[in-house]
Structure formats: structure tokens, C-alpha cells
Structure 1
Amino acid sequence: MSTQQALWLPGIGQDFVVGTKEIDTPDPGQLLVKIISSGLNPLDWKIQDSGYIQFVPSYPAVIGEEAAGTVEAVGEGVTDFKKGDRIFFQAQIGSKFTTFQQYCIVFAYSAAKIPENISFDQAASVQVGIIPFAVALYAQQPEGLAHLAPWLEGGHGKYAGQPIVIMGGTSTLGQYATQLARLSGFSPLITTASFHNTELLSSLGATHVLDRKLSTAALKDAIAKITSTPIALAFDAISLPDTQQTAHDIITAGGTVITVRAPQVDNKSEDKVVQQVVGIIHAPPNRELGKSFMPVLTQWLADGTIKPNTVEVVPGGLNGVSSGLQRLKNNLVNGKKLVVRPWETA
């Protein structure tokens, strides 16, 4: 059996180690993909530090949540992809599917083709960033809010006149949330960020950028000067306890805060919903959403409707993962996505 280089996590709290791993064969409905670029995410260092049994049930394990590459082989029944296609994808759970390695298995329903104007590095930043907001807003309940998606008939601009607040607009999730909210028509579209990112967020669709350091009271006052319509929806792309609390406090009675981490709100009002999104396209209720969205996402990237994050390639291939994750852990990455190239591993 052929082997490859892979980044192994021996156990919780341990250092990553580059080693060998077998190259798997795709089953029906799957693809074997040569990974050209793999994205780094905060969940990766959290798995290393603390372990998440829902993502890594046993060790040693290979982790990594998203990547872009070329199709090397197709499993039985796959008709939408062929050998040589450039694709990007969100990884499934399990070491044969994860992305800190040179090859992995991908479920065809979750993959999207990379348009010619988008690089592998850019494409590797997309799915984990855009899927949480897509699931939160457009998946059926209870996974999402069942809003009509902007890629479906009647969905583009449907929510015009309804305000939204996106906490942490410059984060990877925040940038994609801003763009999807723009396509859905939410207005005013208010984000919180550092002021030096105002131009970036305005280019993505934000109508107003408010200082992320404002107190809750000051943020309420600033929003009241923008709109008299009560805020019924907030998306917290950061989801630290303080940002969750602020989002909770600024929404109106009957409103909803979507978080990407477990809710941690003190004195939660009974008439306000704080709901964590599980931004995974592989969850059975979300697969149809993915099937309808992936071809559109390819087109939107091609025509500039959706703009990928600015990316930075961390040198060293798989050996660069540890330093990149440490930067994420120390909050030293702002407004861009870190990626590694597994085939540059020494």
C-alpha cells in the first residue's frame, strides 16, 4: 500500500509529529484528493490542547478541517467530478478524511470546484469560514433559522430593511457572514471590528463598522443612531463570553443570537434565544443545503460575488502547522487566513 506524509497528534496536550500514513482508497460517493493547501483553524489548537471527542474519538490522530487540492481518484457512483478537477472542501471526522496530510478522502456531496481565478491557497480558506453562517441562517430548524437562502429563487435581497449585527466582522467567519448577509439583503448591516478594517468590511457589504472595544451601553447607543428598528438577529463570529453577553444584551425581546461556541451568557433573558450553530455540512440535515450551495459558491467566487479571505502561507509544510496554530491561539492573526502546503514538508 502506498504511503504519504501526515501530521500526527499522538494524544491530548502532546506535540504534533510528522510521520507516514497509508493512502486510502475512495469508497462509493467519495473522492481521493491530493491536498495542495490546508487551512488552519482555532478548533485545531483546541483539539490539541483539550481534545474534542466528537471530532477525535481516539489517538493517535490526524486532524485538520479544510483544504483544497486535485482529485486523484473517484469512487463508484460519482458523476460530478473527475481526476484532475481542482476542488475545495470541509473535512469529515476521522483520520482518513482530515487535512493535515498529503492525501485524504472527501465526500463528493461536500466538495466544490475551484474557479480559475481562485488559487488553492485562497480556496482552502472558504468552506469552514462560510458554512457556519450558511447553516445558521439557511438550514432548516433546529440546525438553523430556516431563512430563504440567497441562492434560491426569491432569496436574494429578501431581508431588506431587517438589521443584523455581526460581532467580529474581520474574523474569517465574520468576513463570510458579512458577504452572505449582504446577499440576503439585511440592512443596516452592522459589524464590530477595529476601525482600521473599515474599508475591508465596507467592501464586503457592511453598511456600518463600529469599534469592537465599545462597551455594551455605548454599542447600544451607536446602533440606535443608525436604526430605530430593533435588532432581532446577531451573529457572534468570536463567541467569547463577553461578545456573547454583548450580543445578547443588544438584541430585542424575541431576538436570536447565533454563536459558534457553546453559549456562555449570564442572566440570560427568557425571551431571547442564544443558539450555537454547528457549522458542519456533513450533518445529515445539512447535506441538501450543501448540495444546493456548493455549485453556486463556485460561481460566486468566479464572478467576485464572494471574495475569499486574504491568505498567508506558513512555511515548512506540515511542520509549519504548530507555529501557525500558536499564532492563532495567541490572537496574533487579524483579517487573514493561515494555510500550509503539505507537499512542502521537508
Structure 2
Amino acid sequence: MKAAVVKAGPTVKVIDTPIPEPREGEILIKVVVAGTNPKDWKAPEVAATGAKSFAGFSLEHMGEWSNQGDDLAGYVEKVGQGVVGFKPGDRVAAMHEMAKPHGAWAEYAIAWSQSTWHIPDNISFEEAATVPLAALAAAVSLFYNLRLSTPLAPANRQTPLIINGAGTTVGAFAVKLAQESNIHPVIAIAGDTIPYIQTLLDPSKKDAVVDYRQDQAKVIADLKQAISKSGTTHVKYAFDTIGKQVGVDALKEVLDSDGHIDFILPPEVNVGPLSHSTTYVQVVHGPVDGAVARTLGYMISKWFTLGFQTGVFTGHPYEIKKGGLYGLQPALTDLKEGKNSGVKYVVRVGETEGITAAV
């Protein structure tokens, strides 16, 4: 089969490699659409420095070239021993286990059954492929690290939440999951993506958006105003997908003294007296944090199917990079150069020269 691998640069090449076999608990998926994430170009560059880990996952066995793809949507080809609920031909999306072999950038990929879910017929593979890693990362932040209410048991009292970087893919999914968990008010900090984020918020529950492109004093003033209008003076929880000092300084001005910030990457900032944590999405595959995190990943993955079916959950805006697997080169380059804003880059594997597209 054809597969794409990347090394520091980023430099992408398409290679021929054997089709893998699913082991116990795994599913072999014929990939129709694969997605990209910022870590896909960052991890090879960090590995090239000799570092042993990045964002909580090991780099020791990655090698110079690696298939970094973790977001995929396609058809079940084969199931491993012990897998229940899936059969060949099922339309599915999945998160591949980070830093492991047989990633999403290939004709066939391997995913654990616990982080695989069915795609309703009315949802495209492109939309579904925007979901896995980013939405599960948002779920780990809100429901595992911050211990907030989930869509399975929504909040029954006001729970203010600030999301810094709401326009990122992870941030936008955090907004969506908060809505379905009755977490309000959500105060979203964003920039160019404000029009999209506003469509996700519920003003009737005092949700609000703050434009970070203003000067710092105005950002802080707007945050305080949004909090005041919500009828509360206490905000304990924040999710920061950016991790820059200027954003953290604003959060320190408005969070309670016992407030907690969860970051999407290990912070290199001063959080002052606030407590903080870091989201490592790979905990849904364990065994780092045991059965609780794996169970969360399983239950939220299955909820994605229900959310799509009922229309309360949607994917992220996306842009298709042409050329199939060869489209990963411009996708990763654009991600590194900061040209991406508010969309997820995906590729249709069947567009790759030498590959027959799945129907």
C-alpha cells in the first residue's frame, strides 16, 4: 500500500509499505480521508534534536521518518480478536494512537476499537476526519483534567468556563462539548474566527466572545464585563489552547485565586498562584492514567455518533489539500508557517497517484 511519512522540515514523501494486520482490540481501516494537526510537523522537529518525548508521548522509537497521521475516516476492513460492534464495511472515524506504527496517512491504518466510532450516512468522511484527535483532546481537558460535567450527565448549575484560543480546532470542539454538557457561561477568546465561534455560543445563557486582537487592558476589561453580565463574580476554570504569556496574564486577572488552567501543551509560562494541568490526549489509549481515561475516551467516542445522528454535534470547517497523500506537504508547510486559521486540513487518500479511491 501507499503511505506518507514526514521528517523534520517538514519534508513529506510517499512510500510503499505492507498492509498491517490488526491485533487484539484493533481495527484495520481503509482510509478515505486523513487529517492533520500541528503536532504532525512539530514532533519530527523535536525528535531531530534528540529529545526523548514531546507533548507527553515518547519519541524514542519514532525514527527519522514517521507516519504522523492520527485523524482518519473510512471503512472497516478487518477487526482484530475481541473487537465487538464493528464489522467490515462499516463507515467509521477514529483516532490512531499517537507515535505508534500504521498511522492515518496511508491506504490502510490501525486504530483501537475504543477510539473508533460509527459515522452516520449523512456525515461526510471529510467532516468526520476533522473530529478525532481535537475533539478527544477537548474532552480530556474538560471532563478529565477539569472534572466538569459531561454530555452524559449535564451540569445542573452555572459553571463558568473561559476558553482561550476558542478558534483553534481543539478550542472550538471544547466550546461544542461545553454546550452539550450545559456548561455556561462559556467565555470564548478568539480573533479571526469570531464569526464562527459566535454560531456555537448561546447568548441566552450569557455565553460571550472576547476579541484578543485588542490591547491587553481592553481584553481584560471585556473578560470582566462578560463575567459580570453572566451574574457571577467567580470563575474557576479555564482551558488554554494557545499557551502564551499574554493570554495567561489575562486569565490571571479574572480567575478566582483557586482557579485552574488546563493547557493543550506543557506551559512555558508563569501561571502565578493558579493551579494548572496539561491535556495529553493519548491517555484515552492508556495505560498512563489507567481505566478512567480509557473509559472516558470510549464513552465520548461513542457519543460522537449519537451527537452526529441527533444533529447536536458537528465537525470542524475544513480545507481539502489536493493530491491525496502528496497534499500533506503543503498542509504541513502551511501549518508550520501559521497560514491556517479556523480550518482543518484534510486529504482524500484516493486522490493519491497510484491509488484507487474508495467509494
Same fold, TM-score > 0.5, yes or no: yes
Identify the residue that residue 244 of structure 2 maps to in structure 1. 240
Q: Please tell me the residue identity of whatever aligns with 1:58.
A: M
Contact 2:166 2:175 in 1 (8 A): yes
Identify the residue that residue 73 of structure 1 maps to in structure 2. 78
Q: Which runs of 5+ in 2 are unaligned?
A: 354-359
Q: Tell me whether 1:104 sits opposite 2:143 in the alignment.
A: no
Q: Please tell me the residue identity of whatever aligns with 1:172.
A: T
Identify the residue that residue 175 of structure 1 maps to in structure 2. 172
Identify the residue that residue 145 of structure 1 maps to in structure 2. 146
Aligned with 2:336 (options 329, 340, 346): 329
Q: Tell me whether 1:50 sits opposite 2:46 in the alignment.
A: yes
Following the alignment from structure 2 to structure 1, what is the Cα–Cα distance between the partners of residues 23 and 128?
Answer: 25
Contact 1:314 1:324 in 2 (8 A): yes
Question: What does 1:139-218 correspond to in 2, within 5 Å?
Answer: 139=144, 144-151=145-152, 155-158=153-156, 160-194=157-191, 197-205=193-201, 207-218=207-218
Q: 1:211 to 1:172 in 2, by over 3 A?
A: same
Contact 1:230 1:252 in 2 (8 A): yes
Question: What does 1:264-303 correspond to in 2, within 5 Å?
Answer: 264-266=268-270, 268-270=271-273, 272-280=274-282, 281-284=284-287, 285=290, 286-303=293-310
Q: Tell me whether 1:120 sits opposite 2:125 in the alignment.
A: yes
Q: 1:250 to 1:224 in 2, by over 3 A?
A: closer
Following the alignment from structure 1 to structure 2, what is the Cα–Cα distance between the partners of residues 184 and 106?
Answer: 27
Structure 1 residue 332, shift from structure 2 partner: 1.3
Structure 1 residue 293, shift from structure 2 partner: 1.7
Contact 2:243 2:269 in 1 (8 A): no
Contact 1:34 1:104 in 2 (8 A): yes
Following the alignment from structure 1 to structure 2, what is the Cα–Cα distance between the partners of residues 145 and 14?
Answer: 34
Identify the residue that residue 341 of structure 1 maps to in structure 2. 348
Could you list the per-position Cα deviations for residues 153-208 of structure 1 after superposition, in whole angstroms to 9, with x for gaps in the alignment?
A: xx2233x42211111111111111111112222322111122x6444212212521
Alignment size in residue pairs: 331
Following the alignment from structure 1 to structure 2, what is the Cα–Cα distance between the partners of residues 245 and 340?
Answer: 38
Could you list the per-position Cα deviations for residues 77-98 of structure 1 after superposition, in whole angstroms to 9, with x for gaps in the alignment?
A: 2121000011111111355331
Q: 1:324 to 1:39 in 2, by over 3 A?
A: same
Following the alignment from structure 1 to structure 2, what is the Cα–Cα distance between the partners of residues 91 and 202?
Answer: 31
Aligned with 2:35 (options 34, 39, 45): 39
Identify the residue that residue 7 of structure 1 maps to in structure 2. 4
Could you list the per-position Cα deviations for residues 71-125 of structure 1 after superposition, in whole angstroms to 9, with x for gaps in the alignment?
A: 0011112121000011111111355331111111111111011111211111010
Following the alignment from structure 2 to structure 1, what is the Cα–Cα distance between the partners of residues 151 and 128?
Answer: 21
Q: Which runs of 5+ in 1 are unaligned?
A: none
Following the alignment from structure 1 to structure 2, what is the Cα–Cα distance between the partners of residues 339 and 209?
Answer: 28
Contact 1:55 1:93 in 2 (8 A): no
Q: Please tell me the residue identity of whatever aligns with 1:264.
A: E
Aligned with 1:84 (options 83, 89, 99): 89
SS of aligned partner of 1:22: coil
Structure 1 residue 55, shift from structure 2 partner: 4.6
Following the alignment from structure 2 to structure 1, what is the Cα–Cα distance between the partners of residues 245 and 184?
Answer: 26
Could you list the per-position Cα deviations for residues 51-85 of structure 1 after superposition, in whole angstroms to 9, with x for gaps in the alignment?
A: 26435423232221211111001111212100001
Runs of 4+ residues deviating >6 angstroms? none
Following the alignment from structure 1 to structure 2, what is the Cα–Cα distance between the partners of residues 330 and 172?
Answer: 17
SS of aligned partner of 1:38: strand
Could you list the per-position Cα deviations for residues 277-335 of structure 1 after superposition, in whole angstroms to 9, with x for gaps in the alignment?
A: 11222123311112222221101012221121111110011111111111111221122
Question: TM-score of the superposition, structure 1-length normalised?
Answer: 0.89
Contact 2:186 2:201 in 1 (8 A): yes
Question: TM-score of the superposition, structure 2-length normalised?
Answer: 0.86
Q: Please tell me the residue identity of whatever aligns with 2:211.
A: D
Contact 2:224 2:254 in 1 (8 A): no
Contact 2:194 2:211 in 1 (8 A): no
Following the alignment from structure 2 to structure 1, what is the Cα–Cα distance between the partners of residues 81 and 236?
Answer: 46
Q: Please tell me the residue identity of whatever aligns with 2:171.
A: G
Following the alignment from structure 1 to structure 2, what is the Cα–Cα distance between the partners of residues 14 and 156?
Answer: 42
Q: Percent identity?
A: 28
